[in-house]
Structure 1
Amino acid sequence: MVEGLLTRALLFSLMLCVPAYAQQTVRVAQEMRPLYPRDYYLQELLQSALAISDKPYTISYVDVHPHQQRILYMLDGERVDVHWSMTSPAREKLAIAVKVPLFKGLIGQRVLLAHPKLARELSTVESVSQLRHFSAVQGHDWPDTNILAANNLPVKPVANYQTMFRLTAQQRVDYFPRSVIEVVDELQAHQQMQLQIVDHVVLNYPSAFYFFVSKNRPELAAHLRQGLDVLIQRGEFDALFTRYFSANLETLSLASRRHIMLANPFYIESP
């Protein structure tokens, strides 16, 4: 009997030494390109949201080619668990969309980058019909490309991110729509191309930018959503967003710009 009690005591002590949850690695796609403040914001937001979970997650960044659709396909395999992206019905079929708009819907507000020779003319545009006289460039696999095309706006799909800036600078296209979240930092990074932000105009279409999680990791998606909800309730989500983006948004003076509304038939707002 004494021997049995000793055995049970030993087993109990061993159980106490085992953590409630084993350490779990979260493999996050990191595009092989220069990183911008928006990337660091998303990294910090992801880390903060997962830290709220009672499961100890460790984040590991996986270098990937900057090809949005290809990265989302990778979520279906064994290499990547999390990526962030603008949403579309096709993308939500590939992975679990954690439906918290990470940029508060501002991903669908687009100012125009253009060569100085074209910027003045573009600044006078007041309607979608007038904008149809100009050509845009966008990523070949970006939802934005389909959105512009659905509004009958001429758009050139391009695979390479840097090429889009070069084509705009060379006036081989007329403008490059960029989100108000990213444009100021991108313009600064491409100063040598002498592009400028077109005055007075901003395109506006409903959209959202989400974390996408592999369908193989539904518990991770649930913990991430829970963490984001807690950050919102505490005011930490707003504080982080303000720290990263308030200065640039103020620079763009969005309230005083002409908002040209575009339809987005590829977006259904979450309830």
Structure 2
Amino acid sequence: MRYLSLLLVVIFCHTAVAKEAKVVRVTQGAHPYVVDLIKLALSYQKDVYKLRYVDNIPTQSRAIRLLGKENGIDIFWSVTNSRRENMARAVRVPIVKGLLGYRILVINKDNQAKFSNLNHISQLQKFHFGLRYDWPDHNIFVDNQLSVNEFKTFTGALNMLKSNRFDAIPISILELPDLVSRYQTYAEQNLLLYYPSAVYLFVEKSDQALFHALSNGMNQALQDGQFEKLFNQYFNGLIKELELEKRTLIELSNRSLPPSAPLAEQHLWYRKETKNEKN
């Protein structure tokens, strides 16, 4: 019996090793949270998956075109819009719970008093905002009838800010701490601008197997609490560090967000508790 047990163990181990992992290609240098979330979603599947990291994917527009191609990638992640959802198949779970739509202003410290008592979008119309032409919030600010001055580099933008060519640069809360540290800039202390924004995982349209693996895995991770656990592990510290709950929220509309976005499913989104919100 003892030898039979050992034989069964050897056979089982050999079978497990022999089962070939399915390779899924992703962009090298991805945020660790995105990588861990993909691994989490795929871990619920019967098939074994292995990530392979691909270099030299320089731009988002090129990345989405390379989905499923021989020298491309299999999973792409980005802020969604109708064009991207026409080009690829979106797993419609906002992977950072809309955090990318929360913006804090970088301003000249001496101008803090100008922003301290604002609570309505109409009060923002007297300011000029610096935005790169290719940032997603460029068109959002224009659509909300806010004045936008374009810049090409962040270093150039800071020089324009110092010379009062514009009043503020809206920065995603996911990028703000690093930018403030690297450039020794000043973050406005009172406001939190927000527009609904969803970052999705995308796959090539015909890749039904990978789409279903990611969709099913994400839904299971949401149901058993592992998605929330991973999100909190990466972002709770940031939310506390920036003291988002103490800030006055001003909401902007975002007409580039496709109607299919699951805004009604509140558990999929981070939502700051209100403080003097007037829109």
Q: Report the TM-score, using the length of structure 2 for normalisation.
A: 0.76
Q: What is the CA deviation profile of residues 166-187 of structure 1, one whole-angstrom value per residue up to 9, with x for unaligned ones?
A: 6556655432222333322443
1:27 maps to a residue whose letter is R
- Are the equivalent residues in 1 in contact too, given 2:24–2:52 (CA < 8 A)? yes
Q: Tell me which residue corresponds to 1:133.
A: 126
Q: What is the CA deviation profile of residues 43-75 of structure 1, one whole-angstrom value per residue up to 9, with x for unaligned ones?
A: 111111112222222211223455333322332
Distance 2:155 2:60 in 1: 14
- Are the equivalent residues in 2 in contact too, given 1:181–1:249 (CA < 8 A)? no
- Are the equivalent residues in 1 in contact too, given 2:93–2:200 (CA < 8 A)? yes
How many residues align structurally?
Answer: 248
- Are the equivalent residues in 2 in contact too, given 1:119–1:197 (CA < 8 A)? no
1:98 pairs with 2:96 = no
Distance 2:112 2:28 in 1: 33
Which ranges in structure 1 are unaligned for 5 or more consecutive residues? 1-15
Q: Tell me which residue corresponds to 1:252.
A: 242
Distance 1:26 1:166 in 2: 43
Which ranges in structure 2 are unaligned for 5 or more consecutive residues? 1-13, 265-279
1:184 maps to a residue whose letter is P
Q: CA shift at 1:223, angstroms?
A: 0.4
Q: Using a 3 Å threshold, how does the CA distance of structure 1 residues 223 and 76 change in structure 2: closer, same or farther?
A: closer
1:146 maps to a residue whose letter is N
**Paired residue for 2:184, among 194, 199, 205?**
194
**Paired residue for 1:23, among 21, 24, 31?**
21
1:231 pairs with 2:224 = no
- Are the equivalent residues in 1 in contact too, given 2:104–2:172 (CA < 8 A)? yes
Distance 2:255 2:177 in 1: 28
Q: Report the TM-score, using the length of structure 1 for normalisation.
A: 0.78
Q: What is the CA deviation profile of residues 213-250 of structure 1, one whole-angstrom value per residue up to 9, with x for unaligned ones?
A: 12242211210111111111121111111111112101
- Are the equivalent residues in 1 in contact too, given 2:102–2:193 (CA < 8 A)? yes
Q: Tell me which residue corresponds to 2:34.
A: 42
Q: Tell me which residue corresponds to 2:66.
A: 74
Q: Using a 3 Å threshold, how does the CA distance of structure 1 residues 132 and 243 change in structure 2: closer, same or farther?
A: same
**Paired residue for 1:107, among 91, 100, 111?**
100
Distance 1:64 1:147 in 2: 30
Counterparts of residues 51-200 of structure 1 (less than 5 Å): 51-64=43-56, 67-75=59-67, 77-78=69-70, 79-158=72-151, 168=161, 172-188=165-181, 190=182, 193-200=183-190
Aligned to 1:132, the other structure's residue is in SS state helix
- Are the equivalent residues in 2 in contact too, given 1:96–1:213 (CA < 8 A)? yes
- Are the equivalent residues in 1 in contact too, given 2:27–2:57 (CA < 8 A)? no
